[in-house]
Amino acid sequence: MSFETTRRVFLGSGAAVCALSSSSADAAPPQEPAPFKLGVASISFLKFPRERAIAMTRALDVRYINIKFLHLVLDSTPEQIRAARAEFDAAGLTVLGGGLIPFDKEDEADIRHKFEYAKSAGFPLIVAGPTHSTLPLLEKYVREYDIRLAVHNHGPEDKQFPTPQSALAAIKGMDSRVGLCVDVGHTLRAGADPVKSLAEAGPRLFDIHMKDLRNPAKWEACPVGDGLMPVTAMFRQLQKQGYAGGVMLEYETDEDNPFPGMQKSFAYMRGVLAGMNG
């Protein structure tokens, strides 16, 4: 069964999940134009179980994914974690990381548990939600486990890291494996310029959560390309600075039926990249 066939089936019938899952070994999704890695943050499938999240990611012709613990439970045993990870691998997906994982307690047992989870899952990167007090503790575990950590900014309501700049200031002087996951939507909501924020992050930019907003003040999310996000300028800046990490769509609208908006978002981003590549 080809990807085009499975996509038509998926859009026309709920039975497509089974069809996609059974054909997971047919072929890997296509590679995006270098150096960009367009992918999915699995929280986009908030209301769907792991099997369907995988099927929908494949139907989007995406090969990269960041796994939210909704789809790989934090308290799973190492055996359960490895079995779940194997499902993503069997579907031809490349796991770029996991998260967002909260680190809001100054409890080293809790921190170690979450790093052990990331190790068992084979995450090369943890997208993290730390506090100013837990962040120095995390650096020690980054060194011990050799897993990169990306601090996620969460907009004006975030008392810790509302902007990429606030996170960048906090990690100054830390191990080079501590960096940022720039959420461009929350960046815009906090009044920061997404393009300048990506540039300022520089080599500390490990991950991007991509989204678009029609009205940042009211959190009016929309498919990428339908809002105010300067997508072309952001991709040009990323190209200029040689960014080779993930650009992960975090689609936080239409929770009951996110697929059409996600499909539209990827079509727009791919169109921008095609134009940039002539």
Q: Tens digit of pLDDT for each residue in 130-142?
A: 999 999 999 999 9
- Name beta bridge partners: 178: 149
Q: How far apart are CA 274 and CA 85, in angstroms?
A: 32
Q: How many domains does the chain divide into? A: 1
Domain membership of residue 249 (yes or no) is yes
**Residue 229 falls inside a structural domain:** yes
Tell me what pLDDT residue 24 has. 42
In a domain, 10, yes or no: no
- What percentage of residues in the chain have a pLDDT greater than 70? 87
Tell me, yes or no, whether 18 lies in a domain. no
248 domain residue, yes or no: yes
- Percentage of the chain exceeding pLDDT 90: 84
Q: What is the pTM of this model?
A: 0.88
Is residue 8 pLDDT above 60, yes or no? no
Mean pLDDT of 67-79: 96
Residue 107 maps to a domain: yes
C-alpha triplet 96, 14, 21: angle, nearest 5°: 45
DSSP-derived secondary structure letter, 268: H
Residues 29, 20: Cα–Cα separation, whole Å:
12
- Across the range 247-256, mean pLDDT stands at 95
pLDDT digit string (tens) for 132-173?
999 999 999 999 999 999 999 999 999 999 999 999 999 999
Q: Which pLDDT score, from 0 to 100, does residue 278 have?
A: 72
Q: Is residue 24 part of a domain?
A: no
150, part of any domain: yes
Query: What span, in angstroms and rounded, lies between the C-alpha atoms of 244 and 154?
Result: 23
Least confident piece of the model among 1-15, 43-57, 91-105, 217-231 = 1-15
208: left (phi over 0), alpha (psi -120 to 50) or beta: beta
Amino acid letter, 46:
L
| pLDDT of res. 195 | 98
Q: Domain range holding 127? A: 29-276
Which CATH number characterizes residue 72's domain? 3.20.20.150
